[in-house]
Structure 1
């Protein structure tokens, strides 16, 4: 069984939604009964890489979010 995820683009070039789709793909493949232990480890590693990338992107977006102050000005938090 081939458990590799297609990597036509690097993770940095993919949108957050595309990363989540790849992560969902990994989860579905891990849930298949015929996945070998070796393939499971590979899928787990790939899933952890995707989660790390998603988490970093979400953190970056949170840092860019702006707070509207009482005078109508915006400030990053």
Structure 2
């Protein structure tokens, strides 16, 4: 199982998605023990949490324009 701090050191959201895709591929494999499946599931859930945090951070930085053309942070 990967720890959260190691996962959060990923450079980009794209890297997190790639790692999550590999975890999903591993879970779809037929020759996994229950313990290995559980470990991959835990890693996947940590990756999903990191993706959500990263997306939330980006959303906070995005500026929205109101009807007067003025920008406001989310």
**TM-score w.r.t. length of structure 1:** 0.80
Deviation string, structure 1 residues 2-46 (Cα, Å, up to 9, x no partner): xx78xxx75323210010000000000011000110100100010
Aligned to 2:11: 14
Q: More relative contact order in 1 or in 2 (CA 8 Å, sep 6+)?
A: 2
Structure 2 unaligned regions, length at least 5? none
CA RMSD of aligned residues (A): 1.9
Q: TM-score, with normalisation over the residues of structure 2?
A: 0.83
Q: How many residues align?
A: 71
Q: Structure 1 CA distance, aligned partners of 2:7 and 2:39?
A: 18
Runs of 4+ aligned structure 1 residues displaced above 6 Å come to: none
**Residues 25-34 or 62-71, more deviating:** 62-71
Q: Is the 8 A contact 2:23 2:43 kept in 1?
A: yes
What residue ranges of structure 1 are gaps of 5+ in the alignment?
Answer: none
Name the CA distance, whole Å, in 1 between partners of 2:56 and 2:18. 19
